[in-house]
Amino acid sequence: MTVTAYTLAVVLNLFCLFLGYRFLFRPGPAAAGYGAPADPGGAAAAYLTVKGVRDGTLGVVGLALLAFAGARAEAWFMLCVALVPLADTLIVLRHGGTRAVAFGIHFATAVVVLVGAGLLFAV
């Protein structure tokens, strides 16, 4: 179970880094994949950049906690961070995104993050 818990935590943190990179360097496709398309050349440009920085930072902090503070600190971090994809679920629903994206991507991500936190608490 330890290998599974750590592997899932690393993969989730690396995925946050990937999402951050994508929103910073490919914001149009990233916004469409998020479920709320936005024009990266228009008024939404700043918000897309903020999302990229937010996601990338979450990945860096998660990896740093795992490496330097241990599984329990990472578990608490992931428990708190699960609020982000839960909020993303509501954002997509409120802004015309599909239920499939809201629940199939964002809510499912929250569930996986919570499972990862639970596994780390069990280590």
- Each residue of 68-90: pLDDT tens digit? 999 999 999 999 999 999 999 99
- Looking at the chain, the whole-number percentage of residues with pLDDT higher than 70 is 100
Sign of the dihedral through C-alpha 53, 54, 60, 64: positive
Q: What is the pLDDT of residue 103?
A: 98
- Please say if the pLDDT value at position 1 is more than 90: no
> What residue spans of 2-70 are helical by DSSP H?
2-25, 27-34, 45-68
**Under a CB-based contact definition with an 8 Å cutoff, are residues 9 and 78 in contact?**
yes
- Please say if the pLDDT value at position 32 is more than 90: yes
Confidence of residue 53 (pLDDT cuts 50, 70, 90): very high
Residues 6+ apart with CB under 8 A from 41: none
Give me the mean pLDDT over the 87-111 stretch. 97
Mean residue pLDDT of the chain comes to 97
Count of residues making up the chain: 123
- Please say if the pLDDT value at position 16 is more than 90: yes
In sequence order, what E strands does the chain have?
none
| Residue corresponding to tokens 């496709």 | 29
Q: What is the pLDDT of residue 12?
A: 98
Give me the mean pLDDT over the 41-67 stretch. 96
Chain segment 33-48, per-residue pLDDT in tens? 999 999 999 999 999 9
**What letters, b where the CB count within 10 A reaches 16 and e where it falls short, cover 99-118?**
eebbeebbbebbebbbbbbe
Residue 53 backbone phi and psi in degrees, to 5: -65, -40
